[in-house]
Amino acid sequence: MAVSLHWGSGEATCPISWRLYLPEEWLEDRRRAREVRLPVAQRYQSKTELALGLIDQAQSWGLPARPLIVDSAFGNRFEFREALRQRQCHYVMAVEPSTLL
C-alpha cells in the first residue's frame, strides 16, 4: 500500500510524492525483510506518520497552499486532524458516522 500526496489546481491534479507503507510485522520478520531486500535501517511508520511527512515535505517546497482532501482512513483519527490544525492546513475530509468531532 502507498500513501500519496497529490497537488491540484482548477486545471489539473498531479501526484507529487508517495511513501510505501510497510506493516510492522514485515519489519519485525527479518527473514521476510531480507527476502524482499528492505533496508536494514528501515523503521516502522504508521500511515498517519507517512501522510504528515508528505505534507511537511510539500510545505517545505513552498507550493501554493491548497485545502487537503482526505479520506476517512485519516479523517477518523483525531491525532491526524489535530496535526493538520497545528500545521495550519485547511482540509475537507470524510469521516465515518461513529467518529466524534
Q: Where are the domains of the chain?
A: 2-93
The pLDDT of residue 63 = 85
82-98 pLDDT tens trace: 999 999 999 999 999 98
Three cell numbers written together for 20: 510505501
At 101 the pLDDT is 75
Asked if residue 75 lies in contact with residue 99, where contact means CB atoms within 8 angstroms, the answer is yes
Of the candidates 68, 69, 63, 72, the residue with the CA atom closest to the CA atom of residue 88: 68
Average pLDDT over the chain, rounded to an integer = 91
Closest CA to 91 of 100, 74, 21: 74
In the predicted model, residues of the chain with pLDDT beneath 50 are none
DSSP annotation string for 33-80: HHHTT--TT-----HHHHHHHHHHHHHHTTPPP--EEE-HHHHT-HHH
Longest dimension (CA), the chain: 47
